[in-house]
A and B are shown apart, each in its own frame.
Chain A
């Protein structure tokens, strides 16, 4: 149990376009979902924390108008990268927690390449 999926697994887009990434908890209701970004050979950097039905909390330095997060239900959160630029190319990973358990269940990640 505790499976998290992401869609798409990879995406290539042109500079200036917007890209939406979905994160779903398949077999549990996620109290909180997190969005991370990971550059090659670097660690996961938390971008934002998302709770169902409320606005996401963004980490310092993350532009909330550029990285739009919607947490529509207890099983779905979306991240939209607006007006993407080549520097936004990265590996985006979501995770989810359930109940009061501290363990985070990670999705498989989405590789975004902006040309």
Chain B
């Protein structure tokens, strides 16, 4: 089966630092990886999509990388703020009907 793993359940960092979250996948490379933000009791919100043939994608303070050799995607938040505190989900896609398989998420806590 195609697994997606986010090994860090939680990450605590200080405001202003860069948060780096890791997502690993098994077996063949997915056509794309997506990153979502989920706040408690809410549905996920789409952040970024990176395709297999892209090495890096940026959006404002967010950056995501896709390393097919390491079978890994890294998600960076630069100049982190307390408002960035949330759970971040990685998802692999590219199969039939745009189905996504989600990781368990990393809960990020940014403190003052």
Q: Which residues of A contact B (CB under 8 A)?
A: 4, 6, 32, 34, 42-46, 49, 51, 57, 91, 93, 95, 97, 102-109, 111
Contact = CB atoms under 8 A, between A and B. Distances in A.
Interface in B24-41: 32, 34, 36, 41
25 contacts: A6-B43, A32-B97, A32-B98, A34-B99, A42-B104, A45-B102, A46-B99, A46-B100, A51-B97, A93-B43, A93-B44, A95-B44, A97-B98, A102-B34, A102-B93, A103-B46, A103-B49, A104-B34, A104-B98, A104-B100, A105-B46, A106-B36, A106-B45, A108-B42, A109-B43
Contacts of B43: 4, 6, 93, 95, 106-109
Interface residues of B, number: 22
B99 A109 contact: no
A111 B41 contact: yes
A102 B41 contact: no
Nearest to A46: B99
Contacts of B103: 43
Nearest to B43: A106
Interface of B: 32, 34, 36, 41-46, 49, 89, 93-94, 97-105
A104 B32 CA distance: 13
Contacts of A49: 97, 99
A93 B112 CA distance: 32
B23 to A, nearest CB: 12
Nearest to B31: A102
Contacts of A108: 42-43
Contacts of B102: 43-45
